[in-house]
Chain A
Amino acid sequence: MKTIIRYTLLTAGRDLLFIGLLAIIVMAYGLSVFTGGTALVEQEQMSLAYFSGSSRIALQVGLIVFVCFHVRRLFDNREIEAMLSKPISRPQFVIAYWFAFVMLGFIAVIPVVVLMKLAFEPNMVGLAYWASSMVLEISLVLAFALVSSLILNSAVSAVMSSFSFYLISRLMGFFVATLDQPSIMTSGKYGQFMGNTMLALSTVVPRLDLYAKSSWLIYGVDGQKDLWVFQTQSLVFIGVLLSMAVFDFKRKQF
């Protein structure tokens, strides 16, 4: 397991993932401070919200692309066969790889948190929740990227499906709210059908909209009733995804 983690970190370094992500984070910081600085009031809050939102997108996009192409390369170069010839079970292989990706996510979040702490005055409890929630959000999305790269034969398809999953998961709060709007879900020819489809979708898609909210950094987490969701949701859904990956991987012929 340790070897796989070390190998993944080395590959990430070789692909300039950390340098690339750091450069994007610094650019996002600069742009956020510049844009926020032109606000008439609440300039720091403006910059902080921009930085939190833009760094989230940069991290997710960068890590999804890396994971999908990294896993496909393992198959294309037949490195995976070499690895599986070692005394490691297939479930262990999947979990080790996911854990290595979580390590990447954790390392990538550190400069964002450090910059937030040094350059702004965030609510410290909010920052702690935001950072831990961000790591869990990345862990969940990378678990999906790993599953899709193992199942799909093309890295591009895996990247696209991971992006779609991420967007739909972030929209899930809106979908659930829309279900409570009877006028939308019952009117029109397809209203009922759309409502049922959304309901079915919401049962199997996680609520990523409840993760790492920028408002926590500004106002703290007092009065937030849904704080328990992101830990529980991560535990449950990462379990689902990794089981799915193991299920598929065990049946794969090399």
Chain B
Amino acid sequence: MAQTRFIRTDIYLYLFLIMQVMLWNQTRHFKPDFTIVPEVPSELSIKAFSFGDEQFYFRTLAFDLQNAGDTFGRFTALKLYDYSKLYKWFTLLDKLDSKSSFVPSIAAYYYSATQNTPDVKYIVQYLEEDAGLNEYNKYNKWWWLGQAVYLANHKLEDKDWALRLAYKLAATPRNDIPIWAKQMPAFILEQKGEEEQAMQIIADILKNAETIDPGELNFMAYFVSDRLKKYIDDHPELKKLKESKTYKDSHPGQ
């Protein structure tokens, strides 16, 4: 009798074990979502989930974005990422902390390395928007605007966009940015073949030359004189005028 009861209780164990194996057979197809770039939440929801500490939540989401696609032992090629979604993430994170350079850094230095070059337009667009987002960014984010010029010019080869960005970069409202940032429109114009305008920009910078170091001054003086020489060579009437006695008398030593 006791043995029969034992067998009966034993049966339940085997029964539930078999049921568990059957259940496993059904559930093994349910796998975690391996989306490369996670879905972008709404601005309202990230404000709610930050529980008042937006900086903490910003860092958490920014870290997730840095590692997106490279989790669960995966390594995903950047060409497979959805850059329109990434762009939405970048702009969303700016709503939590627009001062940080973390997002512009991963955008400009990491995500811009995609093998699918047209996707770089999302990066450039974000960097342009981020640098002009508010007065703080207009003053402090010039470096990322410089990166945007580089990406637009060399990766996308969109000279018009690069020029627009270069003008914005040169208009940064501070005097302590490197001189190359002020000269940037001239370099892009030069590449577009608009040498006269390029020369004019450098000449304008030279007019305010008190704080520029001698090495830069030499470069800019050379830049202007070289383009001027080329310009005169291209215009015979100017060349003739330069070689005239009247000009030589009025410009001795040239």
A234 contacts B by Cβ under 8 Å: no
Q: Which one of A35, A40, A53, A174 contacts B105 once the chains associate, using CB atoms below 8 Å?
A: A40
> Quick check: A53 and B53 within 8 Å, CB to CB?
yes
Count residues of B near A (Cβ-Cβ below 8 Å): 24
Determine which residue in A49, A171, A177, A213 has the highest number of CB atoms from chain B within 10 A of its CB, and name it.
A49
| 9 examples of A-B residue contacts, CB within 8 angstroms | A35-B63, A39-B62, A40-B102, A42-B102, A171-B51, A172-B52, A177-B44, A208-B52, A212-B53
Is B109 an interface residue, CB under 8 A from the partner? yes
**Chain B, Cβ-Cβ closest to A175:** B48
- Whole-angstrom CA separation of A174 from B53 in the bound complex: 11
- From B53, B54, B66, A39 is in contact (CB under 8 Å) with B66
- Contact status A173-B44, CB under 8 Å: no
User: Which A212-230 residues have C-beta < 8 A from chain B?
Assistant: 212-215, 218-219
Residue pair A45, B52 in contact (C-beta under 8 Å)? no
Known A42-B100, A171-B51; contact A214-B105, beta-carbon cutoff 8 A: no
Let me know if B52 and A173 touch, CB within 8 A: yes
Q: A40-B66, A41-B105, A46-B59 are in contact. Are A213 and B52 (CB under 8 A)?
A: yes
Give the chain A neighbours of B190 by CB distance below 8 A: none
- Among candidates A35, A39, A53, A171, residue contacting B56 with C-beta atoms closer than 8 Å: A53
Question: Which of these, B51, B55, B58, contacts A170 with CB under 8 Å?
Answer: B51
In the A-B complex, the 8 residue pairs with the smallest Cβ-Cβ separation, listed nearest first, are A209-B52, A53-B56, A214-B55, A215-B55, A170-B51, A49-B59, A41-B105, A174-B48
Given pairs A170-B52, A214-B56, 20 additional interface contacts (CB within 8 A)? A39-B63, A39-B102, A40-B105, A42-B100, A42-B101, A45-B102, A46-B59, A49-B58, A49-B59, A50-B59, A170-B51, A174-B44, A178-B44, A181-B44, A213-B52, A213-B54, A214-B53, A214-B59, A215-B55, A218-B55
Q: Does A148 contact B (CB under 8 A)?
A: no
User: Does A167 lie at the interface of the complex (its beta carbon under 8 Å from any beta carbon of B)?
Assistant: yes
Query: In the complex, which residues of chain B have a beta carbon less than 8 angstroms from the beta carbon of A209?
Result: 51-53
**Which secondary structure dominates where chain B touches chain A?**
helix
CB neighbors of B among A30-54 (8 A): 35-36, 38-42, 45-46, 49-50, 52-53
A contact residues around B129 at 8 Å (CB): none
Chain A residues with CB under 8 Å of B62's CB are: 39, 46
